[in-house]
Structures are given as C-alpha cells and as structure tokens.
Amino acid sequence: MELNSHVPEGPLAEKWDKHRFSAKLVNPANRRKHKVIVVGTGLAGASASATLAEQGYEVSTFCIQDSPRRAHSIAAQGGINAAKNYQNDGDSIWRLFYDTIKGGDFRSREANVYRLAQVSNNIIDQCVAQGVPFAREYGGTLANRSFGGAQVSRTFYARGQTGQQLLLGAYSALSRQIKAKKVTMHTRQEMMELVLVDGKARGIITRDIISGKLESHSADAVILATGGYGNAYFLSTNAMASNVTAAWRAHKMGAGFANPCFVQIHPTCIPVHGDYQSKLTLMSESLRNDGRVWVPKKPGDTRNPASIPEEDRDYYLENKYPSFGNLVPRDVASRNAKEQCDAGKGVGSTHLAVYLDFAEAIRRDGEATILKKYGNLFQMYEKITDSNPLHEPMMIYPAVHYTMGGLWVDYNLMTTIPGLFSIGECNFSDHGANRLGASALMQGLADGYFIVGTSIANYLGSTALETVNNNQAEFSQSEHNVQERLQKLLRSSEGGPEGKFTVDEIHKELGLLLWDHCGMARNKEGLEKALLELPAIQDKFWNHLYIPGTGEELNQSLERAGRLADFLEFAEIMIHDALDREESCGCHLREESQTEENEAKRNDAQYSYVSVWEHQGEGEQPKLHKEMLTFADVTPSQRSYK
C-alpha cells in the first residue's frame, strides 16, 4: 500500500488555490456522461450529491433510512464553526486552523486542516443562501457564540438544532436535484460491497431493505459518506443504524483504514440505567459551566445526595485541576469520571455515574437565571430520567460520541483505492486525535460542498476509464459473494433459537469488551486481553447466532447481524491500533504514557504519524503503514490544565 498524501507544494495558505488550478477539469458538456455514486445522505453525502449534480454529473445516491433527511447529522446540537470574525474578536482562518490542529493534539495533516478553515466561511454563506434559519442579532446580522472552550465567538447556531437545520438545507438542495432528475435517490438501500474493476472503484452492491433483493450499481467513481463507527461499542450517542459496514467493505477491498482507535468519548451524557438500554443521549457540554462534578468520598456510599454533607463529597475535578476545575477538556473529564467509578465511588443504581450539581449555582444566581441558561436541557433530562436537576443533582457519565478515525484519504479525499472517495466522519482527515466542538458539521459540509467536486473532476479528467456495466463478471461475482455472506449469517439459525444468541446479545458483549479495554483509558495488558477474547465472541456470532426470518424480506435482525459481523472484524484493527500507539494523544490515553501527574503524555518523536491499516486477507494479521506527519507551520506543544 502506497501512502501519498498528494499535498500540493507551496506556502500553506496557497496550497488549495494552487491545487484547484492544477487539478484537471471535466468539460461541462461531458459531465453528464459520468456517473458518480454517493453512499450516505448526511451533511457530507447530501451536500456532495447536490453539488455534483449541479455541476452536471449523473449522481446516484443511497441511504439506509426511509428518507435522506434522517441521517444522523441531524442530531448535532451545538453549532458550526467558521472563521468569519463577524464578532471582531481576533478570529482568523489561521486561528481556526491552529485551534483545530492543536485540538486534534497534532495528529492531523496541516494542509487538510488549513483548507478546512479556509472554506469554513463559504459554508456559512452557502447555508444562509439556502434559507437555513441561523440565530440572529437584533440588527439582523448573524449571531455567534463561544463553544467548547474556544476563546473567540465563531460558532453559528440555530437554537439547539444546528445539525438538523444544516442537514435540511443540504437535503433541500438534494431534493431539488432529485426533482431535476440529476440525482437518482435510492432509499432503504444498504451498501453491501464495493466493486472494483481493474483496481478502480466502479460500483457497489446494495441490498434493498424491503425486498431483500441485491442490486448492482456501476459508476465512474464512488463516494462514501457513511459516517463513523461509534456503534462498535453498542452503546453510543450514534443513531441505531450507524455502522462501519460500507467503510469496512471498502477496507477489505484495499482501502487503508486510518487511526481506528481514535474515538471521542463525551463526558456529559445521561448514564446507562439498565441492560435494556439501546442508546445514550448527549447533554450539552455547556452544563459544566455552572454544574459542579462530585462523587461521595467513601466508596459504596448509597445515601441520597442531599443527605451527603459537604465534607463527605469529593469535587474531584476542582481538587485535581484547580485552575480549570469543571471545565477541563472532554477527554480529561471523561477519564476522571471513569477513574472515580472504577474506585467504587460511582452513584446511581448502576454505580456508573457521577453527580453534576447545580445547587450552588442556584444559590448564587437564583433558579430563574439557571433555568434561563439550561431550562431546555433540564427539561430534556427530566423527560428521560424523571428527575428534576433543580432539586437533585444530575447524574452524568461519558459515552462514545464521535470517531476521528476513518478511511485514509489523501488531499483529494481519495482513499488508497483509485476512484473511491471518503468524506465527512467516514474519513480520518481533519480532527487528528480529538475533535473540537462545532467542527464536525464544518468538516462534513466542507468536504461535500467545496472539496470533493474538485477531486471528482480531477480524477475523472485525469483517468482513462473504460465503460463498465452492472452485469459484467465483477458485479455478478460480488453479488454472489454478498449472497454467500448472507447465507452464512443465516446458517446457524436453522433448527430454532434454543441455545443460541440474539444479535443484540452478542453486540452488547462486543461493546462491553471494547468499552472495558479499548475505551477511555487503555493499557497493553487490557488490549492484549481484548484481542484474546475477541475470537470467542466472533465464534459465538458465526456459530451460535439466531436470526428469525429469511434474507428475502424486510428483516431488521438480519440487517443488524450484517453490521455486527463487520463491527466484529473491525474491532480487531481498532485494538491493534490502540496497542501500537504507545503514547497518549487526544482521546487516546495509554495508561503507560502519562506524566507524573497522571496526564496524557504525547510522544512526538516516535508517534507523529497516521496509522494506516491494510487488510491482508481473512484470518491474517492486518498490516500497519505509517504516514509521517510533518509540521512546517505550527510547532506541536503539550496541553496542560493544572
């Protein structure tokens, strides 16, 4: 596997311009002769589909939900960053670039991140022109807020529903192209396989979720915008259908997978309350501005929080980090909550939660002020937990939220398979080892609206592509393989459910294994143990799984089983990756690599690289490749919050 990032020469600020000039173009009249497949309709997929169709390509777009508007981008709450400097508070493209690359703990590529900051401004222009109802000042100009500890106000928002509004904007642009017959929309279709012809991505095999029929779709290029793999952990803030299948299928066909162990764990989520729990709900980080985090000092103290006196409480963040207190970054807050619970001080029925207490803030500012700031969050919390944070402390616990890792892509967002592109959360490109708040929406739309179009033109304009159609041998072979895999999934279900396991039972087992050993804090011993235990779960899956029904109908158990099969394989490179990276950086904490004060210690001398994993065949160890990171314009520095 050859890793050439194709970053253009020249000064950082001029790279994107230079690249756009040197990139090949496709004559407008010829574009309609090229077909492009886009898988996924989140911010990245919908914006890419619409933009490519506007440019004149013939686009086929796929999503697993009943409508392209359902993609999980819709759940993003906080906002979207842009370097507009509308507030005149010292923001600039350079500052956004620097904050993003520093926030990622210097594990991302300078040129990509700089380009992201550059196009961030165009995104806001584009979305406003589409009719996205961003919050406004009384004078009619756009409002901004500071988010995630940023020192400038650069976050644009639409109430707590920014992701929804941006996605609906992209969805409306996509809808316009569907009506114009430039995009063919395939809903309730799941990508099962990537098809290569002569080593180039030329199509996909999909399964119609309603009829179970397999379909072959050919194209000149394929774009994956299928999001992240957080659901490997079973419990996460991701939507139920979010999965790694498309990316994993591409990986098995030769696409490198970068930094799979980089998983962001968000500290303020509503805790798990029972083994029936299906997903976790995120509460905005802003709660930590006024809430104080604490646990009882004595392990196993089950008293009602109100009857635990001050001297028996441990405000561990304030004690440990006097200057940042409760506002330490996401990864630090998450890790410390886990430490407390591991020490037996967790609260609630499951003992996997810590208190987030507003009592002092209410005494200080009054109920009205606190409600004005957090009223809607309190309401949401009460709806789910039936407890009012005004009267008793909230309980929170960290949850898997976003995956920085993804398919490796070059500056063109092209994977190691020619003609296969990856955009949005599906790729690894911009967030390094940790993503800053309000940056995911920015990246998804940057890739879809402003970057991938140039890449597609460059690829199609510089590559000789022979005509393919979807009934040639490569497609029928792939379809056959998919059929076999489905049969294999259903194989162990014959003879009824006795002594067998359901998909969710096995998925929960995998989730727990990953959470325990490849979650917030990792160590060599635990990771090696996980690698040893994984095969037993895989064996259980392939030999003792029960799926009711058949493959020739709408079968939600079978859909989930297919996704779990890929998570089970994927988990392996995730653990390998965490094992290989014997340093702590961003979200990835190796317990062996800490400072004397138990803080994450990065090791730039040895680990300043992107880990790229190559599939070596069934049953073979994956092979690690390294893309060395060089920093010409910024100097990596160590974070400190004491």
Partner 1 sequence: MTNSIDINLEIWRQKDSRAAGEFEVYTLQDISTDMSFLEMLDVLNEKLTREGKEPVAFDHDCREGICGMCGAVVNGIAHGPEPETTLCQLHMRHFKSGDTIVIEPFRSRAFPIVKDLITDRSALDRIIQAGGFVSINTGGTPDANAIPIPSATAELSMDAAACIGCGACVASCPNGAAMLFTGAKISQLCLLPQGQKERKERALSMISTMDSEGFGNCTNERECEAVCPKGISISNIARMNREFVKASLF
In the region spanning residues 196 to 215, those forming contacts with partner 1, defined by CB under 8 A, are: 210
Q: How far apart are CA 227 and CA 402, in angstroms?
A: 9
Q: Closest CB to partner 1 among 164 and 403?
A: 164
Cα 522 from chain centroid (whole Å): 20
Q: Measured from the CB of residue 538, what is the shortest distance to partner 1 in angstroms?
A: 20
What is the footprint of partner 1 within residues 574-613 (CB under 8 A)?
none
The yes or no reply on residue 131 touching partner 1 (CB under 8 A) is yes
Cα angle: 218, vertex 567, 222; to 5 degrees: 20
The residues carrying an active-site annotation are 330
Q: Measured from the CB of residue 369, what is the shortest distance to partner 1 in angstroms?
A: 22
Q: Please report which helix (H) or strand (E) contains residue 263, including its range.
A: strand 263-269
Q: How far apart are CA 165 and CA 69, in angstroms?
A: 10
Q: Which two tokens stand for residue 480?
A: 């056959």
Q: Closest CB to partner 1 among 172 and 492?
A: 172
What is the footprint of partner 1 within residues 439-458 (CB under 8 A)?
449-450, 453
Stretch touching partner 1 by CB under 8 A, among 276-284, 287-295, 469-477, 584-592: 276-284
Which of 54, 208, 516, 533 contacts partner 1 by CB under 8 A?
A: 54
What is the footprint of partner 1 within residues 179-198 (CB under 8 A)?
179, 185, 187
The yes or no reply on residue 139 touching partner 1 (CB under 8 A) is yes
The yes or no reply on residue 63 touching partner 1 (CB under 8 A) is no
Q: Closest CB to partner 1 among 508 and 529?
A: 508
Cα 578 from chain centroid (whole Å): 17
Which of 257, 428, 546, 570 contacts partner 1 by CB under 8 A?
A: 546
The yes or no reply on residue 239 touching partner 1 (CB under 8 A) is yes
Q: Closest CB to partner 1 among 122 and 598?
A: 122
The yes or no reply on residue 65 touching partner 1 (CB under 8 A) is yes
H-helix segments, 471-585: 473-491, 503-517, 524-543, 556-580
Phi-psi group of 140: left, alpha or beta (phi > 0 → left; psi -120 to 50 → alpha; rest → beta)? left
Q: How many angstroms separate the most distant Cα atoms in the chain?
A: 76
Please enumerate in sequence order all residues whose Cβ is within 8 A of that of 339, keeping only pairs 6 or more positions apart, or say none.
521
Q: Helix, strand, or coil here: 494? A: coil
- DSSP letter, residue 433: T
What is the footprint of partner 1 within residues 479-498 (CB under 8 A)?
496-497
What is the footprint of partner 1 within residues 547-576 (CB under 8 A)?
548-549, 553-554, 556-557
User: What is the strand order of the sheet 214-218 is part of?
Assistant: 189-197, 200-208, 214-218
Which of 142, 197, 327, 390 contacts partner 1 by CB under 8 A?
A: 142
Which of 504, 516, 533, 627 contacts partner 1 by CB under 8 A?
A: 504
Cβ(638)–Cβ(600) below 8 Å:
no
Stretch touching partner 1 by CB under 8 A, among 4-12, 268-276, 300-308, 420-428: 268-276
- What does R_g of the chain's alpha carbons equal in angstroms? 24
Q: Which two tokens stand for residue 586?
A: 């961003």
The yes or no reply on residue 122 touching partner 1 (CB under 8 A) is yes
The yes or no reply on residue 90 touching partner 1 (CB under 8 A) is no
Q: How far apart are CA 431 and CA 101, in angstroms?
A: 7
Q: Closest CB to partner 1 among 131 and 299?
A: 131
The yes or no reply on residue 413 touching partner 1 (CB under 8 A) is no
Q: How far apart are CA 318 and CA 269, in angstroms?
A: 20
The yes or no reply on residue 375 touching partner 1 (CB under 8 A) is no
Which amino acid, 61? T
What is the footprint of partner 1 within residues 378-397 (CB under 8 A)?
383-386
Q: Which of 384, 321, 389, 334 is nearest to 361 (CA)?
A: 389
Size of the site for partner 1 (CB under 8 A): 84
Cβ(24)–Cβ(461) below 8 Å:
yes
Please enumerate in sequence order all residues whose Cβ is within 8 A of that of 75, keeping only pairs 6 or more positions apart, or say none.
163, 164, 237, 239
* Number of neighbours of residue 550 by Cβ within 10 angstroms: 12
Stretch touching partner 1 by CB under 8 A, among 273-281, 336-344, 427-435, 509-517: 273-281
- DSSP letter, residue 75: G
Q: Measured from the CB of residue 68, what is the shortest distance to partner 1 in angstroms?
A: 8
Provide the mask over 278-297, with x wherever binding to partner 1 is found by CB under 8 A and - wherever it is not.
xx-xx---------------
Q: Measured from the CB of residue 490, what is the shortest distance to partner 1 in angstroms?
A: 14
Q: How far apart are CA 136 and CA 335, in angstroms?
A: 37
What is the footprint of partner 1 within residues 290-329 (CB under 8 A)?
none
Q: Measured from the CB of residue 590, what is the shortest distance to partner 1 in angstroms?
A: 32
The yes or no reply on residue 173 touching partner 1 (CB under 8 A) is yes
The yes or no reply on residue 51 touching partner 1 (CB under 8 A) is yes
Q: Closest CB to partner 1 among 64 and 531?
A: 64
Q: How far apart are CA 175 and CA 189, in angstroms?
A: 18
Backbone angles phi, psi at 403, to 5 degrees: -115, 120
Cβ(163)–Cβ(441) below 8 Å:
yes
Q: Closest CB to partner 1 among 412 and 434?
A: 412
Backbone angles phi, psi at 461, to 5 degrees: -75, -15
Which of 39, 74, 362, 575 contacts partner 1 by CB under 8 A?
A: 74
Q: Closest CB to partner 1 among 232 and 573?
A: 232
Q: Measured from the CB of residue 124, what is the shortest distance to partner 1 in angstroms?
A: 5
Which of 62, 134, 234, 428 contacts partner 1 by CB under 8 A?
A: 134
The yes or no reply on residue 225 touching partner 1 (CB under 8 A) is no
